[in-house]
Amino acid sequence: MGVMNKLRENTGVILWILVISFGIIWVLQDSGAFDVVGRTGDTIAEVNGDPISYQEYVRAIEAQMQAYQQQTGESPTPQMSDLIREQVFNALVEDRLRQQAMERLGITVTDDEVVQMVLGDNPHPIIKAYFGDENGNVNRALLQNFIDNPAAREDWIRLEEFLRAERARQKLEQLLLATVRVSDQEVEETYRRRTLRADARYVALRYAEVPDDSVSVTESDLRRYYNQHREDFKRNRTYRVAYVTLPKNPTAEDTLQVLEELTHLKERFAQAENDSLFLARYASERPFTDAFFRRDELDPALGDVIFDDPQPGKVVGPVIAGGLAHLIKIRAVRPASETVIRARHILIRAPEDDPEARRQARQEALALKRQLEQGADFATLAREHSDDPGSARRGGDLGWFGRGRMVEPFEKAAFSAPIGRVVGPVATRFGYHLIEVTGRSNLEVQIADLAMRLTPSLATLNRIQERMEDLAYFAEDSGDFEGEAQRMGLQVQEMRIEEGQQFLPGIGQSRAILNFLADADEGDISQVIELDDRFIVLQLVEVTPEGYRSFEEVRNEIRPRVLLEKKKEVQVARLRQALQQHGFEGLAEALGTTVQTVTQLSYNQTLIPGLGREPRFIGTVFGLQEGETSDVVAGENAAFVVQLTRLYEPPPLSAQMREQIRQQLLSQRRQQVLAQWLAALREQADIKDYRRRFEL
């Protein structure tokens, strides 16, 4: 029984070892999927006529749900549950495909092979995981006791089946990967691509520099583009859906309940000797840390209550900040390494290169300062006159900040100003500022933050769901989804969903929504579907069959593409003509632009200074000989001509690096072969999905 206890106690650990080491299929087998093999019952899918039972599917889902909870400490959300179900379904389908392939190829596993995986010199990792000692070796006595124990027979059979399946998988992969090779030339080419560097010069004309009104886009241009790129506008079967959602927001009563719970814990928290243990015991959303925080490093609401009278041992709160309710113990207080301040400002914006605008801005700032000196309210003037919209809405308040956060002239003036006195106008590159420092702090605190999430109670969730159920019922009864929603004060929204679309705009992944659409007719209304943060009810308004979007439908989408093509033609022609007449050395002057340089350019560089993302630039540079100049290249953002000025050849390839690259390429290629083989099996298979028949 000691062995069995060891197995049971380590189930979670072993489960995740299997997830990481052997993949989801083997987790399904270890989770109890073998128990249902051969059972009859409802079929949730068929793979080339081979059924997957509902019971097998559910057990596999339960195993993955438990694994998720053990790993995260939380139950899966509704949408995460959807994702797990999808992953499990795909894993079971792929498992059937592998089994069928192994049968066709005649792959079998002998008893001797299984014995070697258990008792051989190099046992399977799962044997080491279950029966390992502190040195990482197999405890042979413990293993033999397990094998000989009649009470463990069922577990041994399950383990043996797992090992047999694992060995069969290894044989299949060895067969598939037997021809995968990496040549010396491929290793050298990969090394060269990774290490080769280049310097280059280029002249470019950006397409955006061509004014829109300088090029003409006709109706025939639009139709020609549509006909030439019709495949770009191909669509799957599409559903137009009207829907209503209600968020799972906590009520005032829910929030009050959390605050009361924290208030009840306040005295106990103050007396607690081990703050870390206290936070863990009450499942704080903020883990314990012994770090110190300045005023500017805390949420303003927390900073206000903590720094109002920061005394060690004091417990403040509860206070709501950042979507959480906080009860905070001040553990220690000490002088900060730097002072932080709180300030507000009024900005009169003016560009640095416009002397007249700068003069007017300064005069306006001086006029506002005179009003402040005569008793005007700073916050009111900031809201009315400041050109910093973010702070203006808060009466000019910038919050707490330390040195290095603001531009130098502003920082110098603010940190030298006394509290409550308006200073300025202070000139910066943005314009002129009037600044008032409203607070200064030179302390930092160490805190323990008992934070609880503000979540809706079960009663609140039930009320929200019942309201949505009323909508679904009355809309179904009257046939007027939008009218019933309006009567209940609910907003109707619309979205389009393509068949096979996994992630829905603004919603995420929801198998329940896709199941509804798969069987629904136009006008049908769904039941209430629970998502992570809301409930949703949908009506299928329209179904558009697979085909091509019409020209009229995509006209506005096509126009900017055609406009870009026209601008591209203009810039390419200008650049080509100038290159032919003046060569590369006279090209920039002829076009009224400058020669740009790039240094230490590599194959994997994604952004080119001055051009942005230009994959063709990289290819062009490394396709040139040193000193050679390219022809005109039409890139994504600009047309350009580039000259390779220097090529930095990599150092010789060492034997160690050669082997490292070879193994990397081999691993990548093996993964690609397995993925492509499995994708091909799936493409050719007859897979029938009956999940929508079941409410999961």
Residue ranges, the chain, pLDDT below 50:
1-40
* Cβ atoms of residues 518 and 239 within 8 Å: no
- Per-position b or e across 285-309, b if 16+ CB within 10 A of its CB: ebebeeebbbbbbbeeebbebbbee
DSSP string, 323-340: TEEEEEEEEEEEEEEEEE
State both tokens at 400.
């707490």
Residue 497, C-beta contacts closer than 8 angstroms, at least 6 positions apart: 238, 239, 241, 504, 513, 514, 517
- Residue 608 in contact with residue 617, Cβ under 8 Å? yes
- Please give the radius of gyration of the chain, using alpha carbons only, rounded to the nearest integer: 34
CA-CA distance, 441 to 404, in Å (whole number)?
16
pLDDT digits (tens, 9 = 90+) for 237-272: 889 999 999 999 999 999 999 999 999 999 999 999
Instruction: Compute CA distances 474 → 488, 489, 516, 653, whole Å.
Output: 10, 14, 19, 74
How many CA atoms within 13 Å lie on the side-chain side of 194? Answer: 13
Q: Are 367 and 348 in contact (CB under 8 A)?
A: no
Residue matched to tokens 């694994």: 67
CA 573 to chain centre: 42
Contact indicator for 244, 490 with CB cutoff of 8 Å: yes
Q: Domain 251-455 belongs to what architecture?
A: Roll (3.10)
State the virtual CA torsion across 108, 111, 117, 118 in degrees, nearest 10: 150
Q: Quick one: DSSP state of residue 623?
A: T
> How much is the pLDDT for 141?
82
Residues 6+ apart with CB under 8 A from 516: 524, 526, 527, 529, 538, 540
Question: DSSP H helical segments within 355-425, as ranges?
Answer: 355-373, 378-385, 389-392, 408-416
Can you tell me the distance from the alpha carbon of 512 to that of 389, in angstroms, rounded to the nearest whole number? 43
- How crowded is residue 626: how many other Cβ atoms within 10 Å of its Cβ? 11
Residue 357 corresponds to which tokens in the numbers above? 């605008």
What secondary structure letter does DSSP report for 404? Answer: T
Prior bond of 335 cis (ω within 30°):
no
How many other CB atoms sit within 10 Å of the CB of residue 40? Answer: 8
Phi and psi torsions of 61, nearest 5°: -65, -45
Q: Check residue 533 and give its pLDDT.
A: 87
Contact 240, 542 (CB under 8 A): yes
**Running DSSP on this structure, what letter comes out for residue 378?**
H
Nearest of 59, 94, 85, 62 to residue 169 by alpha carbon: 94
Closest by Cα among 224, 257, 94 to 682: 94
CB 678 within 8 A of CB 687: no
Long-range contacts of 371-374 (CB under 8 A, 24+ apart): 372/422, 372/434, 373/422
> Is the Cβ–Cβ distance between 316 and 303 less than 8 Å?
no
How far CA 601 is from CA of 321, 553, 606, in Å, comes to 47, 43, 10
Q: In Å, how far from its chain's centre is CA 103?
A: 40
Both tokens assigned to 292: 């110190």
Dist. CA 577–CA 631, nearest whole Å: 11
Tell me how many degrees the CA angle 413-418-423 measures, rounded to the nearest 5: 45
Residue 559: both structure tokens together:
């126009």
Record the pTM.
0.61
Q: Can 237-249+457-545 and 251-455 be said to share one CATH topology?
A: yes
Distance CA 392, CA 371 (A): 17
Cα–Cα dist 420/417, whole Å: 9
Those residues with Cβ within 8 angstroms of residue 414's Cβ, 6 or more apart along the chain or in another chain: 341, 343, 406, 423, 435, 437
Nearest to residue 239, comparing CAs of 521, 554, 530, 557?
A: 521
Domain range summary for the chain, segments of one domain joined by +: 1-39, 107-179, 197-232+554-648, 237-249+457-545, 251-455
Class of domain 237-249+457-545: alpha beta
Phi, psi of 149 (to 5 degrees): -80, 115
- Token pair of 648 as six digits: 């930095």
Measure the N-to-C terminal CA separation of the chain; round to a whole number of Å. Answer: 37
Tokens of 158: 């399950």
Task: Tell me the pLDDT tens digit for each residue of 616-642.
Answer: 999 999 999 999 999 999 999 999 999
